[in-house]
Amino acid sequence: LKEIFPGVFKIGEQLATRNLAPGKSVYGEKRVTEGGVEYRFWDPWRSKLGAAIMRGLKTMPIKSGNTVLYLGAAQGTTPSHVADIVGKNGIVICIDIAPKTFEKLLEVCETRENLLPVLADANAPEGYAEYVEKKVDVVYQDLAQREQAKILVKNVRSYLKKGGYAVFMIKARSIDVTAEPSSVFAKEIVELKKAGLEVVETKPLEPYEKDHVAVVARLRD
């Protein structure tokens, strides 16, 4: 057992987080107890953040006690690991627009007090203002959508504190199916820079995800 970032572990070659809801898995992942603590394995084939870490991401902006605004929470796979990392003193505000996946997300949130599910459109951030009590430490976005950078920028302007981080999973094919992925990434990154975000690190997610890049950016003070 090796802690590679605060709250993120390697058990052998596998990634894991400390299970905030011992006895429960979220997406069929295996659990293991070491030294009286239960860990859940984190499958990089199912989670882009897991993939970025397996690919050697150096900057891990999500920390214990953080408030994270998570855009595109889907069924809660990655959000559940983010919840394990921020721990009991942190909170993960989970936004998703799809009512069907939201049902599964609600189940996951029932077992984890620090996950707050909100059915809303990430493209209209004012719609969830009442759930974001103060500016957040991290905005995490994985929407697989067109206009991804624009949506991220709107949320950063409304809710990210200065010096806070944006974690952005860019899926090139969702933005422009005809363009070369690399030119799509470049254009998206220009958008982020215009909004005062400094790109700290970019990490391609192959082989776990094709044509995806993880971007970690910091909002200037």
Ligand X SMILES: C[S@@+](CC[C@H](N)C(=O)[O-])C[C@H]1O[C@@H](n2cnc3c(N)ncnc32)[C@H](O)[C@@H]1O
CB of 72 to ligand X, least distance (A): 3
> Does residue 81 belong to the site contacting ligand X (CB under 6 A)?
no
Which x/- pattern, by CB under 6 A, does the window 185-214 give for ligand X?
------------------------------
User: Please, which residue, 189 or 214, has the CB nearer to ligand X?
Assistant: 214
Contact 19, 38 (CB under 8 A): yes
The one among 48, 112, 203, 218 contacting ligand X by CB under 6 A: 48
Give the separation between CA 214 and CA 157, rounded to whole angstroms: 20
> Does residue 72 belong to the site contacting ligand X (CB under 6 A)?
yes
Give the separation between CA 72 and CA 22, rounded to whole angstroms: 25
Burial class (CB in 10 A: 0-12, 13-18, 19+), 2: exposed
The one among 86, 108, 115, 143 contacting ligand X by CB under 6 A: 143
The one among 14, 59, 101, 174 contacting ligand X by CB under 6 A: 101
CB of 199 to ligand X, least distance (A): 20
The one among 34, 121, 133, 176 contacting ligand X by CB under 6 A: 121
> Does residue 85 belong to the site contacting ligand X (CB under 6 A)?
no
Transcribe 48-113 into DSSP letters. HHHHHHHTT-------TT-EEEEE--TTSHHHHHHHHHH-TT-EEEEEE--HHHHHHHHHHHHT-T
Tell how far CA 33 is from the center of its chain.
Answer: 25
> Does residue 43 belong to the site contacting ligand X (CB under 6 A)?
no
The one among 8, 20, 21, 47 contacting ligand X by CB under 6 A: 47
CB of 119 to ligand X, least distance (A): 9
Handedness of CA 177, 118, 7, 136 (dihedral sign): positive
User: Please, which residue, 37 or 156, has the CB nearer to ligand X?
Assistant: 156
Contacts of 103 (CB under 8 A, 6+ apart): none
Residue ranges binding ligand X (CB under 6 A): 47-48, 72, 74, 77-78, 95-98, 101, 121-123, 142-145
